[in-house]
Structure 1
């Protein structure tokens, strides 16, 4: 759409100004910086531990943990696309992003978010085959099929946000564009444009429905079959064991969609602007913080592998005198 309402020069690219949290007092910037820095380091350390544990421990070379490695890698990439800029904003007051940097950040943020949703679907399918079709598991979940499922999740998510990002980049903007967020989120950038925003808002909403509710529907369908199969198991011990293999994944799914719900309600409800921004920040950091905690605290195999690595690094357990 052609736009002519802006005052910026047509020959120069706009610069984006991140407003951050408008009502946050400046004396609290340092406190919030250290909170976010702690959470970011927790995400990096926790997910790197899972990555190293799964790669180093032969007993974890199974489809379930192969997909967990993908999830951990996504959590690192997802938060790294936004949190370092938030930290720079809070500590140094670095609020400006160039046009290419803003749209690259927007693309990466939404791509990695979509990838996470699809990887959660693939993990649900893995649990479905393991519990509902155990005799077919070695045939249906071969290394080649696992790699194809993971690659499909990544590639689909890398392609889906492209139309919205490209169309948004052709909207009209002033020379300096205030973004009411701590990073370049699609909706925040669209709302800052001088162009008619309805088509872009609708496109963003449709893509969000595809990458949020369709994966959620597939996960719920998988677990409906899993629940039906588990309830047919006669022994209480067998049912407990089947449920325990799904508990970590269910908690991760719950945290992911809870963060989406918080961000959605913050945008749609009649709340102050700060709540809209904080809802997005929760979505950007909540799930990546919780995922490694869930898998290291609730999954005994991952916990055992990490404990084993820690013991090997401890001189008291290395066989030395």
Structure 2
């Protein structure tokens, strides 16, 4: 590792590869971290995979809400697979170098999938808004074609802008160092390595963050203000509890994801530190995707019932 860092420093102005410092400051915990992240990755794959499975095979879950939930679970698997396998590779091999192209590719997919998550959470809130505030027109407004269009727009909407932003960032010259004080290629630690004035690039990052984070979040807030207002006007406590239970899981996921993403990308540059950035990134790139299946299953009676039917059917077959 020491020789690797020296070579990285020698490359300074060319920066054909970077060094992901990651968790190298915890040399006595490498095996422990490797085990923890392996378990987390398996939990994410199994948890989100189960949700995808039951939403496809269980007749009770053939609804727009669960169509979007299956998309969300697929997204979480893709999102975490952009970063976690690389973390595990670095921990297992202690080889922390990453080529410029691989770093740019990782960042690009990370940004695209992050934008997809913002859009998809906004679409899911719109689905709950229509279901609760306009139930008589729900089947018409959220027909299969419309659901497919909204899902496709969420997956594809951020691609052009995020490819452009990635190309813009990696067109910079890196002469300060090429040791990235992070466990994956992310914008704030990469910009710290760039030569000269990066203020224009930082403004670009803020504008894109406002577009892909703040705008969907405002749409979600608008949807939920209408939803809560409608729920409070329902005549019975049972009706209010049932209506709120269908959107409470989604609201919790929204708060967790947008809260951590906003702190990471919209706080002033002066307040960025490697330790804080790593902690926040761990939270929204790994911890939240692990928690999401539990949040949706434990707080949703339909999902619990579908999981029970799946395991009962499996036991009956054996």
Q: Which residue of 1 aligns with 2:202?
A: 201
Which stretch of the first structure deviates more once superposed, 69-78 or 192-201? Answer: 192-201
Structure 1 length as normaliser, TM-score?
A: 0.90
- 8 Å contact from structure 1 (residues 173, 192) kept in 2: yes
Structure 1 CA distance, aligned partners of 2:266 and 2:134?
A: 38
- 8 Å contact from structure 2 (residues 83, 106) kept in 1: yes
Q: Can you give the 5+ residue segments of structure 1 that lack an aligned partner in the other structure?
A: 1-5
Which stretch of the first structure deviates more once superposed, 130-139 or 304-313? Answer: 304-313
Per-residue CA deviations over 1:98-137 (Å, capped at 9, x if unaligned) read: 1111001000111111101110100000001001111111
Which stretch of the first structure deviates more once superposed, 189-198 or 127-136? Answer: 189-198
Tell me by how many angstroms 1:56 deviates. Answer: 0.9
Which stretch of the first structure deviates more once superposed, 131-140 or 265-274? Answer: 265-274
Q: Which residue of 1 aligns with 2:173?
A: 172
User: Matched residue of 2:140: which SS?
Assistant: helix
Structure 1 CA distance, aligned partners of 2:116 and 2:18?
A: 26
- 8 Å contact from structure 2 (residues 31, 91) kept in 1: yes
User: Matched residue of 1:206: which SS?
Assistant: helix
Structure 2 CA distance, aligned partners of 1:50 and 1:204?
A: 34
Q: Which residue of 2 aligns with 1:16?
A: 18
Tell me by how many angstroms 1:259 deviates. Answer: 2.5
Q: Which residue of 2 aligns with 1:107?
A: 108
User: Matched residue of 2:126: which SS?
Assistant: helix
Q: What RMSD, in angstroms, separates the aligned Cα atoms of the two structures?
A: 2.3
Q: Which residue of 2 aligns with 1:137?
A: 138
Tell me by how many angstroms 1:9 deviates. Answer: 9.1
Q: How does 1:115-264 map to 2 (within 5 A)?
A: 115-174=116-175, 177-261=178-262, 263-264=264-265
Tell me by how many angstroms 1:213 deviates. Answer: 1.2
Tell me by how many angstroms 1:176 deviates. Answer: 7.2
Q: Which residue of 2 aligns with 1:3?
A: none
Matched residues, number: 310
Structure 1 CA distance, aligned partners of 2:262 and 2:170?
A: 27
Structure 2 CA distance, aligned partners of 1:94 and 1:72?
A: 31
Structure 1 CA distance, aligned partners of 2:266 and 2:165?
A: 22
Structure 2 CA distance, aligned partners of 1:271 and 1:34?
A: 29
Does 2:63 match 1:59? no
Structure 2 CA distance, aligned partners of 1:16 and 1:271?
A: 20
Per-residue CA deviations over 1:1-48 (Å, capped at 9, x if unaligned) read: xxxxx98598x7611111113532x11111112111111111111000
Which stretch of the first structure deviates more once superposed, 239-248 or 143-152? Answer: 239-248
Does 2:282 match 1:281? yes
User: Matched residue of 1:183: which SS?
Assistant: coil
Q: Can you give the 5+ residue segments of structure 2 that lack an aligned partner in the other structure?
A: 1-8
Residues 7, 272 of structure 1: alpha-carbon distance in 2 compared, 3 angstrom cutoff? closer
